[in-house]
Amino acid sequence: MLDLRIDGARLLRATGEPAAGALGVQDGCLVVDCDGHGAKRVVRGDGFLLAPGIIDIHGDAFERQIMPRPGVHFDMRLALADTDRQLVANGITTAFHGVTYSWEPGLRGRENCLALLDALESMRSRLAADNQFHLRFETFNLDGAADVTEWLDSNRIGILAFNDHAQEIAAHVDTPKKVADYAHRTGLDVPEFKELVERVVARADEVPAMTASLAEHARAHGIAMLSHDDPDPETRASYRALGCLVAEFPETEDTARAARQAGDDVVMGAPNVVRGGSQRSAVGAADLVVQGLCDVLASDYYYPAQLQAAFRLVREGSLTLPDAWALIAVNAAHAAGLTDRGVLQDGKRADLVLIDDRDITLPRVAATYVEGATAFLGDDMLLAA
């Protein structure tokens, strides 16, 4: 007997238009085409869309739960619990939290990074979604390399991303407003921050060897690696040579094209699609999608964006619904190195989202299931029949 059967929903397969059917769950895994099978619990799908749970390969909106206002901090566990509620309410069943470990002190420094990692591990069994750790490592953080090596060797990291913002920051240290903003983020005054930047960039020659060493450890443990904000094809090629096969937020169309031509996955921000463009005038994610140069859409800084972006691409005729959903499900699973989720197939994880899409301009999550367990329920009509 099945643990759960969902009847009457339109099943979103990998290809073709959604079609009515029954979907079952047994021991946390999917049983497809199970019409007539007995079940301990039956849910009425009532014509809603039933899709694989959304996989968020990069989201950092949780930072607003930790520090909702500058200088105002809340307990990490409380922040993660609140974030988890937001995830499942938006259909996100697997979330890789992008946590920056920088040479800068403050919100993105070592103390905060380690505290968040510890809190996530202590809370994981109490959270509804599959919450994973996506380490955004600043490559000029040479003093932090030993920490990252240890975390990789002890399997504490789900995804490793390489960031390089030091040189960009160094280029703006004489711009009063920018340097003041940077300094405020760290808790340092402006002269102290300038001195820190000078010390950091002076060690540029040590960065390539350290990055290569971390990449070697990540490869040895089968950890997916991303490079963040690649400015040009040459930078992307240098990371690819290290086994870093995902380009996250490439800054130009040429960079994204070079990545795709080499077989790399390209990740862009879903808010970019929802808003109709980049917040900082970078390449448009929707344009890359239409050209076949974007494989994955991440929530980036706004958890509702993935669901809304997929439907916007469909409304505008850019993609079919299965292809649009692949950007936030099976393709994201592939980029993250996950083979057990992202598609409605027998034996896959029963991570599911039931969507009321009667108003295609504002689709709404009616229910979310993680390994078959109810993680979010937004409609009384979906209570067990």
CATH number, domain of 190, equals 3.20.20.140
Verify that 104 and 45 share a domain, yes or no. no
pLDDT digit string, tens, across residues 154-166:
999 999 999 999 9
Give the pLDDT mean for 177-202.
Answer: 91
Give the pLDDT mean for 202-221.
Answer: 96
Verify that 200 and 86 share a domain, yes or no. yes
Verify that 40 and 113 share a domain, yes or no. no
Domains of the chain: total: 2
pLDDT value for 176: 87
When computed from its CA atoms, the radius of gyration of the chain, rounded to whole angstroms, is 21
How confident is the prediction for the chain on average, in pLDDT? Answer: 93
User: Taking 80 as the threshold, does the pLDDT of residue 222 lie above it?
Assistant: yes
Closest CA to 116 of 63, 169, 38, 178: 63
Looking at per-residue confidence, does 62 or 73 come out higher?
A: 62
**Beta carbons within 8 Å of 144's beta carbon, 6+ residues apart:** 101, 103, 110, 137, 138
pLDDT digit string, tens, across residues 5-39:
999 999 999 888 999 999 999 999 999 988 788 99
Looking at per-residue confidence, does 87 or 182 come out higher?
A: 87
Give the pLDDT mean for 341-352.
Answer: 97
125's tokens: 């069994």
User: Taking 60 as the threshold, does the pLDDT of residue 385 lie above it?
Assistant: no
Tell me if 336 sits within 8 A of 130, measured CB to CB: no
The model's confidence at residue 382, banded by pLDDT at 50, 70 and 90, is: low
Verify that 311 and 330 share a domain, yes or no. yes
Give the pLDDT mean for 344-365.
Answer: 96
Verify that 101 and 240 share a domain, yes or no. yes
Number of residues written out for the chain: 385
Concatenated DSSP letters for 34-71?
-TT--BS-EEE-TT-EEEEPEEEEEE-TTHHHH-SBTT
Provide the residue range defining the domain that includes 153: 54-336
User: Taking 60 as the threshold, does the pLDDT of residue 119 lie above it?
Assistant: yes
Read off the DSSP letter of residue 370: E
| % of the chain at pLDDT higher than 70 | 97
Read off the DSSP letter of residue 2: B
pLDDT value for 277: 65
| % of the chain at pLDDT higher than 90 | 84
Question: Residue 357: which CATH number?
Answer: 2.30.40.10
Rounded alpha-carbon distances, angstroms, from residue 341 to 102, 121, 127, 299: 32, 21, 18, 18
How many degrees, rounded to 5, is the angle at CA 299 between CA 324 and CA 77? 140
pLDDT value for 280: 61
Verify that 125 and 264 share a domain, yes or no. yes
pLDDT digit string, tens, across residues 276-302:
866 565 678 999 999 999 999 999 999
Question: Residue 285 belongs to what H/E stretch?
Answer: helix 285-290
Helix (H, G, I), strand (E, B), or coil: what is residue 3?
coil
| C-alpha 55: how far from chain center | 7
User: Taking 50 as the threshold, does the pLDDT of residue 149 lie above it?
Assistant: yes
pLDDT value for 227: 97
Verify that 10 and 155 share a domain, yes or no. no
Verify that 63 and 181 share a domain, yes or no. yes
User: Taking 60 as the threshold, does the pLDDT of residue 314 lie above it?
Assistant: yes
Give the pLDDT mean for 109-135.
Answer: 95
Give the pLDDT mean for 211-235.
Answer: 96
Closest CA to 144 of 169, 163, 167: 163
Verify that 280 and 191 share a domain, yes or no. yes
Verify that 132 and 237 share a domain, yes or no. yes
pTM for this entry: 0.94
pLDDT value for 372: 96
Verify that 142 and 17 share a domain, yes or no. no
Verify that 203 and 265 share a domain, yes or no. yes
